[in-house]
Amino acid sequence: MPDIPNYLTGYETKYADNPREAAIKWFREAKYGLFLHYGLYSLLGRHEWVQLREKIPVAEYAKLADQFTAEGFDAETIAQTAKACEFRYINLTTRHHDSFCLFGSAETSFSSTNAPCGRDLVKELAEACDRHGLGLCLYYSHGRDWKHPHAPNNDWGGRARPEYDPHEPTYATGDDHDLQIYLDFCTAQITELLENYGPVAAIWLDGIAVPASGDKNRFRCQELYDYIHSKQPQVLVSYKQGLLGTEDFQAPEHKAIEATGKPMEICTAMCPGPEGKSVSWGYLEAGKGHHLNADQVWDVLRTARERNCNLLLNSGPLPDGSLDHEDIPVLEEVGRRIREQGFPE
């Protein structure tokens, strides 16, 4: 038998025949994943889209990196908690729309390794997930970037950039704009994620509204998918609800979409915001006291399972990187119910 990633233990026979088919079978049977949105936006506690919503200038927003210590981010505790709560995999935002990376990258200095944190958080979590047999899924913002000069501008649609007035001087425009420079940047970073952190369960792409709003072929996503599959035979690819239809699984927000026969994962958040408004994936200070309780999570999980979907449940870590104390007892209670009753069907 070939060497097999720890999270695929039990799928050895199928893995020897077809690693990706083994991973798809594992994914269907995993049912429950923990989503972690963590980054510079967490420090402000005003939604992960705070840069766009408040039109914070690029240079001013970048100064948040000087405060990013992540002293509470403990990958071992996160993995242990996920295991105890019956999650089967963890998905971490390696790089959100603000372009700040939680890993060391040769492509940019805008990362946790160059902040006061001085650590590669993706590496730490990858090692912890491997120790505990959890699948590691890596979120990567592909269609939307608010820092890179050659990322899509607002004339591409899909709320690509903040509406700065005056115009952000670092953004390339007109004939100076070259999307391929940005796509090469993305491919290089995804290469780093696939080469430096051991077996990856999934590359989870975000920002679909931008390529979907125009000529999606300009983003050359099929080339990217094929490249990802060539780097690790078991890795799965998603692009939210599906950009091309050739993704390995679909990952719509909050509710299922029309079934295509592919695995489907509903992603939703523990923090719907005050009075059910302004769902936030990143830490939201105003959301305190408004998070889902155990019965609400159980209902969401039941709804997902009724549609034969996985549930990817997000908890936005606190500014220091520790798991939100409001969510931990709720997730532990849901884990207890899963152990005692099984998944709701």
- Domain coordinates in residue numbering, the chain: 27-341
pLDDT in tens, 258-293: 989 999 999 999 998 766 667 899 999 999 999 999
The confidence score (pLDDT) of residue 309 equals 97
pLDDT in tens, 4-38: 999 999 999 999 999 999 999 999 999 999 999 99
Q: How far is CA 29 from CA 18, 81, 140, 161, 333, in A?
A: 17, 20, 24, 38, 21
pLDDT-derived band at 184, boundaries 50, 70, 90: very high
**Rounded Cα distance, 309 and 331, in Å:** 19
What is the average per-residue pLDDT within 195-224?
97
The confidence score (pLDDT) of residue 3 equals 86
**Rounded Cα distance, 99 and 110, in Å:** 7
CA of residue 108 relative to chain centroid, distance = 19
> What integer best gives the mean pLDDT of the chain?
96
The confidence score (pLDDT) of residue 274 equals 65
pLDDT above 90: residue 69:
yes
- How many CB atoms are located within 10 Å of the residue 18 CB? 13
**Rounded Cα distance, 193 and 276, in Å:** 35
The confidence score (pLDDT) of residue 275 equals 64
Amino acid type, 287: G
CATH tag, 27-341: 3.20.20.80
The confidence score (pLDDT) of residue 276 equals 60
What's the predicted TM-score (pTM) here?
0.97
Nearby residues of 163 by Cβ (< 8 Å), 6 or more positions away: 55, 154
Amino acid type, 310: N
Strand 89-95 relative to strand 310-314: parallel, antiparallel, unpaired?
A: unpaired
The CA dihedral of 201, 237, 33, 115, to the nearest 10 degrees, is 80
